[in-house]
Amino acid sequence: MAMSAPSSARPAPVRSRPRLRSFASAPPEHMADGVWLLRGGLLRTMNVYLVEEPDGRGVTVFDAGEKGMAGAIAAAAQSFGGITRVVLGHGDTDHRGSAPALRAYADVLCHPDAVAQAEGSGGRDYWQMDELPLDVRLLHGFSHRFVWDGGPVHVDETVSAGERIAGFEVVELPGHAPGLIGLWREHDRVALVSDCFYMNDMHGRPQPPAAPLDAYNLDTAEARRSIAKLAALRPAVVLPGHLGPLTGPDVVEQLEAAAT
Ligand SMILES: [Zn+2]
């Protein structure tokens, strides 16, 4: 099905009530110097990161979670001086969810290879949903459409490997999705990696780091190579798109195991 490009017109600011915001997301949790995690969604598995700008003026939002989180993200960002930009780790429905609403405040950015999905089907045009068990397929189908996805979002700008965002360097980790990017900060070895790997299974239950589920991947072999590439950076704190964080003395070993 052909889709027309999403409108570049700015939406009105998000209107939300505090009680609804606390349904949509837990309060920000401190993950690393200047990095905060908003755990959203019913099961608190949808991760959105606020990364403080080095000049102290506002935060970059990394990944946009599900659409119901928009009010919680905007309110949390306000206490840091507001949103400077929204960077999508990739264009899947559950990562662009609140991005259309957050364009009221700031530009939306992603990798050039993620633009077609962010502005289009949100991953649906290559997912193999028929590989999933029926109960998961039905639940995910409903969630993608009615709970997670905020719909196509206009991408204002693109970012590629080596560019700097809020004191981090952009790294390319494709495979799960086209143009999947992470943010890497060498001095304290912190990585924000979107869905480079999963710490929850298809039912949302916690699991050790693993390659993303085949049914949702563009290219699983490439996804594994990206996990190996992440392991080779020897990160100390890894902040994924769902659950986490991954920390401790065996982070690299756990990533190497997930890559094989
Ligand atoms: Zn995801």
Question: What whole-number distance in Å separates Cα of residue 46 and Cα of residue 67?
Answer: 11
Question: What whole-number distance in Å separates Cα of residue 188 and Cα of residue 259?
Answer: 23
Q: 143: CA distance to ligand 1 center in Å?
A: 12
**So what's the pLDDT on residue 2?**
47
Q: 164: CA distance to ligand 1 center in Å?
A: 23
Q: 166: CA distance to ligand 1 center in Å?
A: 22
Amino acid 147 reads: V
Q: 94: CA distance to ligand 1 center in Å?
A: 6
Q: Find residue 110's DSSP bridge partners.
A: 158
Question: What whole-number distance in Å separates Cα of residue 188 and Cα of residue 137?
Answer: 39
Q: 77: CA distance to ligand 1 center in Å?
A: 21
**So what's the pLDDT on residue 1?**
44
Q: 233: CA distance to ligand 1 center in Å?
A: 22
Q: 240: CA distance to ligand 1 center in Å?
A: 9
Q: What is the pLDDT along the chain (260 residues), one digit of tens a residue?
A: 445 789 999 999 998 888 888 888 899 999 999 999 999 998 899 999 999 999 999 999 999 999 999 999 999 999 999 999 999 999 999 999 999 999 999 999 999 999 999 999 999 999 998 999 999 999 999 998 989 999 999 999 999 999 999 999 999 999 999 999 999 999 999 999 999 999 999 888 899 999 999 999 999 999 999 999 999 999 999 999 999 999 999 999 999 999 99
Q: 17: CA distance to ligand 1 center in Å?
A: 26
Q: 152: CA distance to ligand 1 center in Å?
A: 16
Strands of the sheet with 35-40, listed across from one edge: 29-32, 35-40, 46-52, 59-62, 83-87, 107-110, 157-158
Residue ranges of E strands in the chain: 29-32, 35-40, 46-52, 59-62, 83-87, 107-110, 157-158, 164-165, 168-172, 181-185, 190-194, 198-200, 206-210, 237-240
Question: What whole-number distance in Å separates Cα of residue 139 and Cα of residue 133?
Answer: 10
Q: 75: CA distance to ligand 1 center in Å?
A: 23
Query: Considering only CA atoms, which of 179, 104, 86, 92 is closest in space to residue 143?
Result: 92
The pTM for the full model equals 0.96
Instruction: Count CA within 13 A, CB hemisphere, residue 111.
Output: 23
**So what's the pLDDT on residue 236?**
98
219 C-beta neighbours (distance < 10 Å), count: 16
